[in-house]
Amino acid sequence: MAAVVRVPDILAKKQQGEPITMLTTYDFNMARLLDAAGVDMLLVGDSLGMVVLGYRNTVPVTLDDMVHHSAAVARGVEHALVVADMPFGTCHSGPDDAMRAASRLVQEGGAAAVKIEGGHQITDVVARLTDGGIPVMAHVGLRPQSVHQIGGFRRQARTPSEAELLLHDVKALADAGAFSVVLEAIPHYVAAEATQAAPIPTIGIGAGPHCDGQVLVSYDVLGLYDRAVPKFAKQYADLGHQVTLAAKQFVDEVTAGQFPPPPHQPS
């Protein structure tokens, strides 16, 4: 097994021009399987709310949900850096509240870092957590927790003024101490400019090939979720279909009296 990944290793990868990989995960066993693949970071994303808990968006996910799932993931990981999402409502009532929430994710949830959606508005929170010893991954562009404000899961930074604001946000977040930043659903040329300008690694999702790293939702990668899959996601396996086939075979065999097999008769 490769060495444990730590925050300075992620920064070093940018400096050395080595691509960074991150996948989401939400439970112990999947964390073990994905960790064994050698992924650099495992994100306990609040996409948990959609792919595991069945909500239509990430807004209903609570801090208790995140702590519970992060702890399960942390128990399964030996190599990757575990990053846990700060869920809706935990960062915008001030740095002290954010520090309390982040501390739970690190102390009880076993995360090594937290991810926060937001731009220049949250630099005080980023600075407070970083000063308190909690590494912060920022998240700009499409911020799914703002779905009600944006009016859907829409691509961002499409006008020159929006792109300018995003570049300004990335700089402000890096200055505040963020160790990396997720760029979600923005034009590839904006992501390229942010990546070139930022002293910290950019991790893209639907942001083109010029980021320092890439992240995807593991349920999209594995074909385990077919509600609202973004166009930019790549499906590498069709496990959802395999699961239904296996379960159907079980149902058929039990119904037909083929499983369990008859006990061995002593001869």
Residue positions annotated with a catalytic role: 184
Q: Least separation, in Å, of the C-beta of 203 and ligand KIV?
A: 8
Query: Footprint of ligand KIV on residues 63-82 (CB under 6 A)?
Result: none
Contacting range for ligand KIV; rule: CB under 6 A; set: 39-47, 90-98, 172-180, 242-250: 39-47
Report if residue 21 touches ligand KIV, rule: CB under 6 A.
Answer: no
Nearer to ligand KIV, 121 or 248 (CB): 121
Q: Tell me if 218 sits within 8 A of 30, measured CB to CB.
A: yes
> Count residues contacting ligand KIV (CB under 6 A)?
9
Report if residue 215 touches ligand KIV, rule: CB under 6 A.
Answer: yes
Contacting range for ligand KIV; rule: CB under 6 A; set: 44-52, 120-128, 159-167, 194-202: 44-52
C-alpha pair distances (Å), 29 with each of 34, 52, 71:
9, 14, 12
* 35, 40, 65, 85: residue in contact with ligand KIV (rule CB under 6 A): 85
* 35, 40, 46, 220: residue in contact with ligand KIV (rule CB under 6 A): 46
Q: What are the φ and ψ backbone dihedral angles of 199, each rounded to 5 degrees?
A: -80, -10
Nearer to ligand KIV, 172 or 185 (CB): 185
Q: Tell me if 57 sits within 8 A of 65, measured CB to CB.
A: no
- Alpha helix locations (H) across 108-226? 123-131, 147-150, 160-176, 188-197, 218-221
Nearer to ligand KIV, 138 or 217 (CB): 217
Q: Least separation, in Å, of the C-beta of 110 and ligand KIV?
A: 18
C-alpha pair distances (Å), 150 with each of 130, 145, 208, 264:
29, 10, 22, 64
Report if residue 57 touches ligand KIV, rule: CB under 6 A.
Answer: no
* 200, 217, 221, 224: residue in contact with ligand KIV (rule CB under 6 A): 217
User: Of 84, 78, 80, which Cα lies nearest the Cα of 26?
Assistant: 84
What span, in angstroms and rounded, lies between the C-alpha atoms of 133 and 26? 24
C-alpha pair distances (Å), 98 with each of 90, 104, 116, 129:
6, 10, 10, 8
What span, in angstroms and rounded, lies between the C-alpha atoms of 170 and 23? 22
* 182, 185, 198, 224: residue in contact with ligand KIV (rule CB under 6 A): 182
Report if residue 40 touches ligand KIV, rule: CB under 6 A.
Answer: no
Q: Least separation, in Å, of the C-beta of 119 and ligand KIV?
A: 15
Q: Least separation, in Å, of the C-beta of 182 and ligand KIV?
A: 5
Cis peptide before 95 (omega within 30 of 0): no
Tokens of 18: 């080595």
Rounded to 10°, the helix 95-107/63-76 angle is 30
Contacting range for ligand KIV; rule: CB under 6 A; set: 42-50, 67-75, 155-163, 192-200: 42-50
**Residues in contact with ligand KIV by the rule CB under 6 A:** 24, 45-47, 85, 182, 205, 215, 217
